[in-house]
């Protein structure tokens, strides 16, 4: 007996990096054991910025390949692409009728996006929380894994659900947040969250050589100009990555760094070796899936079919409740 139904969506950012894995994918994989899970690549959300739309197909496929290699199991979870179940766009329109504009205009990320892309303040940006609500409630999910920063979005979704219920009667579960406990994974620049767009990431699917090369470019403790300078692991980004991949050597590395008994190049090599070792099963599985012709497309088609079976029932119920003839 599963605890409930989880929904989570992620934008099609292409090949995933270790920040994606530690911050989200690992959690997705674990939830499969106890929840009925629906994981979606939200390609329509990606259109709000209209960037690199020519890469959407390729990015979606690469991302799903990484998800499968990391342990998302199509036998346990529904894995699909948002636009392959067009009812989500229909529900978005219907929910927009019960959502006061003032709720959307006060969302902090909308204000940030307006600043970030003043040349393209489109309706999709302001309507984003409504589409996100439609994503969740179309599948009657009751649990949404989120980081603390996403709680305000989920609260808007809960308000929209409550308003719909007030106007048309109980229809959806009110989605609850399942807070993820994974810490922020900093990028190789040591300043910002790991992200492809900052070019500070380590791709899961990179070769061992590429991974080592990338790690060698990482920023470390700026006070360590020379090999003989004592270091401060607590401010070093490489050390923060050792937390994830080299837990058993943490104390030793910190002591050696503080006493200048280890140089940063050697320390990075230790990290690269640990990351490469941890990624061996992922890389083998990815290569194996990639050579199975049509496998990713089959997974996505099957996921869309299963998601659609739920979606069509919800849309039927919503239309009836809203009085559509
Ligand atoms: Fe960072 Fe390691 Fe260099 Fe210390 S030795 S500053 S922990 S890279």
pLDDT digits (tens, 9 = 90+) for 130-169: 999 999 999 999 999 987 778 888 999 999 999 999 999 9
**Which atom of ligand 1 is nearest to 236's Cα?**
1
Predicted confidence at residue 151, as pLDDT, reads: 86
Please name each of the domains of the chain with its CATH number.
Answer: 5-185+293-322 (3.40.50.620), 205-278 (1.10.240.10)
**Which atom of ligand 1 is nearest to 237's Cα?**
1
**In degrees rounded to 5, what are phi and psi of residue 205?**
-90, 5
Distance of CA 50 to the CA centre of its chain: 19
For 62, residues 6+ apart whose C-beta sits below 8 A from its C-beta are 14, 15, 205
- 46, 87 Cβ separation under 8 angstroms: no
Predicted confidence (pLDDT) per residue in 16-49, tens digit: 999 999 988 999 999 999 999 999 999 998 888 7
Q: Is the pLDDT of residue 309 over 70?
A: yes
Residue 121 to residue 52: CA distance in whole angstroms: 17
In short, whether 242's Cβ falls inside 6 Å of ligand 1 is: no
116-120, 191-195, 235-239, 299-303 — most confident range: 299-303
| This prediction's pTM | 0.92
Q: Is the pLDDT of residue 96 over 90?
A: yes
When pLDDT is cut at 50, 70 and 90, the band that residue 274 belongs to is very high
In short, whether 38's Cβ falls inside 6 Å of ligand 1 is: no
In short, whether 231's Cβ falls inside 6 Å of ligand 1 is: yes
Predicted confidence at residue 182, as pLDDT, reads: 62
Q: Is the pLDDT of residue 70 over 90?
A: yes
Predicted confidence (pLDDT) per residue in 180-209, tens digit: 766 678 899 988 889 988 999 999 999 999
The CA-atom distances, in angstroms, between 226 and each of 218, 260, 265, 320 are 16, 9, 11, 72
DSSP letter assigned to residue 244: H
When pLDDT is cut at 50, 70 and 90, the band that residue 75 belongs to is very high
Cα dihedral 268, 270, 271, 272, rounded to 10, equals 80
Atom 3 of ligand 1: nearest residue by CA position:
264
Burial class (CB in 10 A: 0-12, 13-18, 19+), 212: middle
Instruction: Please give the distance, rounded to the nearest whole angstrom, from the Cα atom of residue 272 to the centre of ligand 1.
Output: 13
Q: Is the pLDDT of residue 108 over 70?
A: yes
* Region class of 288: left (phi > 0), else alpha (psi between -120 and 50), else beta: alpha
In short, whether 270's Cβ falls inside 6 Å of ligand 1 is: no
Q: Is the pLDDT of residue 51 over 80?
A: no
Q: Is the pLDDT of residue 262 over 80?
A: yes
Average pLDDT over residues 298-320: 98
Average pLDDT over residues 266-270: 96
Predicted confidence at residue 57, as pLDDT, reads: 92
């Amino acid at each position: 007996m599963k605890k409930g139904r989880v929904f989570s969506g992620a934008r099609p950012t292409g090949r995933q990096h270790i920040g994606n894995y530690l911050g989200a994918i690992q959690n997705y994989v674990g939830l499969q054991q106890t929840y009925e899970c629906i994981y979606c690549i939200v390609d329509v959300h990606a259109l709000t910025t209209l960037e690199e739309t020519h890469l959407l197909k390729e990015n979606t496929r690469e991302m799903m390949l990484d998800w499968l290699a990391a342990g998302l199991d199509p036998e346990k979870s529904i894995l699909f692409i948002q636009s392959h179940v067009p009812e989500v766009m229909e529900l978005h329109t219907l929910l927009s009728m019960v959502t006061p504009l003032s709720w959307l205009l006060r969302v902090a990320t909308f204000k940030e996006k307006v600043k970030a892309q003043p040349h393209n303040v489109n309706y999709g940006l302001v309507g984003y929380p409504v589409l996100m609500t439609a994503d969740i409630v179309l599948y009657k999910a009751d649990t949404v894994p989120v980081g603390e920063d996403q709680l305000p979005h989920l609260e808007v979704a809960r308000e929209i659900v409550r308003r719909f219920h007030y106007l048309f009667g109980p229809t959806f579960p009110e989605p609850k947040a399942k807070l993820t406990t994974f810490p922020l994974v900093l990028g190789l620049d040591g300043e910002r969250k790991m992200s492809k767009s900052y070019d500070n990431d380590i791709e899961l699917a990179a070769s061992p050589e590429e991974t080592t090369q990338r790690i060698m470019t990482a920023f470390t403790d700026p006070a360590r100009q020379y090999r003989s300078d004592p270091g401060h692991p607590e401010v070093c980004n490489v050390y923060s990555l050792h937390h994830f991949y080299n837990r058993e050597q943490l104390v030793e590395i910190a002591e050696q760094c503080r006493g200048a008994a280890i140089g940063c190049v050697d320390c990075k090599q230790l990290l690269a070796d640990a990351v490469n070792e941890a990624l061996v099963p992922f890389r083998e599985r990815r290569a194996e899936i990639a050579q199975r012709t049509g496998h990713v497309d089959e997974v996505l088609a099957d996921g869309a079919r299963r998601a659609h079976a739920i979606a069509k029932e919800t849309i039927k119920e919503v239309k009836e409740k809203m009085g559509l003839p």
